[in-house]
Amino acid sequence: MNCDRRQMMGTLAALALGACSTKPASETSSTSNAPSPTMKKDSFGKLPDGSAVDLFTLTNAGAFSVAITNYGGRITSIKFPDKNGKVADVVLGFDTVDGYVADNPYFGALIGRYGNRIGHAQFKLDGKTYKLEANDNGNSLHGGKKGFDKVLWTAKDVSTKDLPALELTYVSKDGEEGYPGTLTSVVTYSLSPANELKIDYHATTDKNTVLNLTNHAYYNLAGAGEGDILGHHMMITASKFTPVDKTLIPTGELKSLDGSPLDFREAKAIGERIDANDEQLKFGKGYDHNYVLDAKGGTLTQCAMVHEPKSGRMMEVLTTQPGLQFYTGNFLDGTIKGKGGKVYGHRGAFCLETQHFPDSPNKPSFPTAELKPGETYQQTTVYKFSAM
Distance of CA 252 to the CA centre of its chain: 23
C-alpha angle with apex 179: 174 to 180, nearest 5 degrees? 50
Q: How near is the Cβ of 145 to ligand GLA at its closest, in Å?
A: 14
Single residue of 132, 141, 221, 318 touching ligand GLA by CB under 6 A: 141
All residues at 6 or more sequence positions from 259 whose CB lies less than 8 Å from its CB, including other chains:
none
Q: Is 353 a catalytic residue?
A: yes
Q: Which of residues 80-109 bind ligand GLA (CB under 6 A)?
A: 105-106
DSSP 242-264: E-B-TTS-B-S--EE-TT-TT--
Single residue of 9, 199, 351, 369 touching ligand GLA by CB under 6 A: 351
CB 349 within 8 A of CB 361: no
Instruction: Kindly state whether residue 291 participates in binding ligand GLA, applying the rule CB under 6 A.
Output: no
Which residue, 300, 108, 80, 304, is CA-closest to 195?
Answer: 80
Q: What pairs with residue 128 in β-bridges?
A: 125
Instruction: Kindly state whether residue 288 participates in binding ligand GLA, applying the rule CB under 6 A.
Output: yes
Pick between residue 187 and residue 349 the one whose CB is nearest to ligand GLA: 349
Instruction: Kindly state whether residue 385 participates in binding ligand GLA, applying the rule CB under 6 A.
Output: no
Q: How near is the Cβ of 351 to ligand GLA at its closest, in Å?
A: 5
Catalytically annotated residue among 308, 316, 353, 356? 353
Which residue, 127, 91, 42, is CA-closest to 339?
Answer: 91
How many residues bind ligand GLA (CB under 6 A)? The answer is 10
At residue 182, the 3 state secondary structure works out as: coil
CA distance 101 to 374: 35
Query: Binding pattern to ligand GLA, positions 329-348, x when CB under 6 A?
Result: --x-----------------
Q: How near is the Cβ of 156 to ligand GLA at its closest, in Å?
A: 28
* Residue whose C-beta lies closest to ligand GLA: 327
Q: How near is the Cβ of 172 to ligand GLA at its closest, in Å?
A: 20
The per-type count for the chain, helices as H runs and strands as E runs, is: 4, 29
Q: Which residues of this protein are in contact with ligand GLA, per CB under 6 A?
A: 105-106, 116, 141, 248, 288, 325, 327, 331, 351
Active-site residue list? 216, 353
